[in-house]
């Protein structure tokens, strides 16, 4: 991934997450039990990875920004006929940590 693609890729993931997590639902999508948290975890790892991988922004800023984004999505969801869930925000935040960790591992492996 080129350094100049980190911001557009992060913006694309953020827009996709916003649409997906705020899309009004009449009923939850059919999915196996517990996969909702896995989706949140994976999505927010993907959100944090590009910026953390290039190192353009500080890791604390990425953590705070992505985690806050997840929290705001959860707070806004009731407006869109969705339910807010503290567990989803926790999964988002854990995903951010893992995304940052994966980016740091990637950077370390690329140096060698």
Q: What is the 3-state secondary structure (H, E, C) of the chain?
A: CCHHHHHHHHHHHHHHHHHHHHCCCCCCCCCCCCHHHHHHHHHHHHHHHHHHHHCCCCHHHHHHHHHHHHHHHHHHHHHHCCCCCHHHHHHHHHHHHHHHHHHHHHHHHHHC
The pLDDT value given to residue 27: 66
Indicate the domain borders of the chain. Answer: 3-22+34-111
pTM given for the model = 0.86
Q: 39-92: per-residue pLDDT in tens? A: 999 999 999 999 999 988 899 999 999 999 999 999 999 998 888 999 999 999
Q: 5-38: per-residue pLDDT in tens? A: 888 999 999 999 998 888 887 766 666 777 889 9
The pLDDT value given to residue 6: 87
């Amino acid at each position: 991934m080129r350094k100049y693609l980190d911001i557009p890729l992060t913006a694309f993931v953020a827009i996709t997450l916003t649409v997906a997590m705020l899309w009004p639902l009449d009923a939850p999508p059919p999915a196996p039990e517990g996969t909702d948290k896995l989706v949140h975890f994976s999505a927010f790892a993907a959100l944090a990875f590009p910026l953390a991988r290039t190192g353009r922004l500080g890791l604390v800023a990425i953590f705070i920004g992505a985690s806050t984004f997840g929290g705001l999505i959860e707070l806004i969801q009731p407006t869109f006929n969705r339910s807010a869930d503290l567990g989803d925000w926790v999964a988002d935040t854990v995903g951010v940590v893992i995304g940052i960790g994966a980016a740091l591992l990637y950077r370390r492996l690329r140096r060698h």
